[in-house]
A and B are shown apart, each in its own frame.
Chain A
Amino acid sequence: MRTDDLIELLSTNVEPVDHRPTVRNIRMAIVAGILAALTIVLSVLGPRGDLTSLGNFIPAIFKVAATAIILIPASIYLIKLSHPGGEHKTPVILVLFPFIAVIVLAVLSLASTPSSHWQGVILSDAWLECVISIPLIAIVPFAVITWTVRQMAPTDLARTGAFVGLVAGCISAIGYAFHCVDDSVPFIALWYGGTIALCTFAGWRLGPKILRW
């Protein structure tokens, strides 16, 4: 095939296109992922039963907020990364700040706890359920977001994949927070942070294969 023929083919009767729906589609995929994660958590695992008193409500909100401050910048970066060349506009380091903030809070909280109680705070009953649930629930938002991001033609697949994993992990953790009754900050930092990091790693490894276009 001659290149001139291809140019002729592509430019004959060319249709006008609008670039705006692309960003909207990713936002919609993220919202759809959040709804899916919430539905799975509330219907399969069930909501935590102690949300009746204000004293329990605040830590639950804290967990959601702590995860959301990672999710929001990560989503903004993901939208940028999804466009060709977007990797040149995303200094990854900024996304690490919320992570570091949560870890600092956890260390401070541990420091104010007698060391004999550390095991109870970190390895309370639900850690195993948390480690299994968050990555499993993340699969649904991961799939939805991957499919949408692929349409946008990302050009750094590993990094984009990592951000898809990070966003999906955060979404899953937000959903799981409505079930999980462990509210200690070190617990959240270790098990929520750890599983979100695991999802990010998985996305980083899978990205070059599943995001290819």
Chain B
Amino acid sequence: MVANEAELRGLMRAGLRGDAAAYRVLLSRLSANLRAYYKGRLSRIGRSATEAEDLTQEALMAIHARRHTYDPTAPLLPWVHAIARYKLIDHLRHTHASMLDLPIENAEDIIAHDDNVSAESAYDLKKLLDNLPTKMRRAIELTKLEGLSVAEAASQCNMSESDVKISVHRGLKALGAAITRKKALL
């Protein structure tokens, strides 16, 4: 468990410095932990695997959009666990669940199990992207889906590099927020 914390924290720190490979490993490791965590909690109240996958993706988006709130000198798992649990409680509250009083948990619960059997979530990336302002959508498509560098993307859509970076950042945040908003209307 301790080794796991140290290893994941190392990946997170590298990711915060802009190491994409380390960051990808971190997210995929965390996604297996998150999936197991959500499946375990949701199956007890008879919810589907798709719902667990939705939450896994929401938590990943939240971890990404809020990664600036992680203090690299502090343990990583309590931070991840707090976000995972927050998203679970928020989800249950907005889908009329009666199980609002989740049992007290330890931060280690978040890495208690792995689950690599991923299903598809109910979210449609294309539809989510289509609802973004054009500038944000283009910036995400070019740098994140087509894998162009920020400089290449900037010259292709006549924006400055910092403009591209800001659009990507805001766009990803808006994707997460769009899901959160939709839930509030349920």
Contact status B123-A16, CB under 8 Å: no
> Which chain A residues border B150 with CB–CB below 8 Å?
13
Number of chain B residues whose Cβ lies closer than 8 Å to a Cβ of chain A: 56
Contact status A3-B31, CB under 8 Å: yes
- The 0/1 profile, CB within 8 Å of A marked 1, for residues 131-166 of chain B is 000000000100111011110000000000000010
Number of A-B contacts (CB under 8 A): 124
Contact status A1-B69, CB under 8 Å: no
Q: Is A10 an interface residue (CB 8 A)?
A: yes
Given contacts A1-B124, A13-B143, A84-B69, is CB(A7)–CB(B24) below 8 Å? yes
Given B24, B148, B168, B184, which contacts A11 in the complex, CB threshold below 8 Å? Answer: B24
Contact status B81-A85, CB under 8 Å: yes
Given A2, A14, A18, A212, which contacts B68 in the complex, CB threshold below 8 Å? Answer: A18
Given A15, A17, A84, which contacts B86 in the complex, CB threshold below 8 Å? Answer: A84
Tell me, in angstroms, the Cα distance from A41 to B116 when the chains sit together: 59
Contact status A3-B144, CB under 8 Å: no
Contact status B67-A3, CB under 8 Å: no
Interface residues of chain B: helix, strand, loop or mixed (majority) = helix
Contact status A9-B125, CB under 8 Å: yes
> Which chain B residues border A12 with CB–CB below 8 Å?
20, 143-145, 147
Q: How many Å from the CB of B28 to the closest CB on chain A?
A: 5
Given contacts A1-B123, A13-B147, is CB(A155)–CB(B85) below 8 Å? yes
List CB contacts (< 8 Å) of A22-55 with chain B: 22
Number of chain A residues whose Cβ lies closer than 8 Å to a Cβ of chain B: 33
Interface residues of chain A: helix, strand, loop or mixed (majority) = loop
Given B19, B24, B69, B107, which contacts A8 in the complex, CB threshold below 8 Å? Answer: B24
Contact status B69-A14, CB under 8 Å: no
> Which chain B residues border A3 with CB–CB below 8 Å?
31, 35, 53, 56-57, 60, 118, 121
Tell me, in angstroms, the Cα distance from A84 to B87 when the chains sit together: 11
Q: How many Å from the CB of A161 to the closest CB on chain B?
A: 14
Q: Is B169 an interface residue (CB 8 A)?
A: yes
Q: Is A21 an interface residue (CB 8 A)?
A: yes
Tell me, in angstroms, the Cα distance from A88 to B23 when the chains sit together: 26
Given A7, A22, A153, which contacts B60 in the complex, CB threshold below 8 Å? Answer: A7
Contact status B28-A213, CB under 8 Å: no
Closest A residue by C-beta to B181: A212
> Which chain B residues border A117 with CB–CB below 8 Å?
none
> Which chain A residues border B103 with CB–CB below 8 Å?
none
- A-B complex: 3 closest residue pairs judged by Cβ atoms: A85-B82, A16-B18, A11-B24
A sample of 18 cross-chain residue pairs with beta-carbon separation below 8 angstroms, ordered by A number, consists of A1-B124, A2-B118, A3-B60, A3-B121, A7-B27, A9-B145, A10-B144, A12-B145, A14-B23, A16-B18, A18-B68, A19-B68, A21-B68, A83-B71, A84-B70, A85-B78, A85-B79, A212-B90
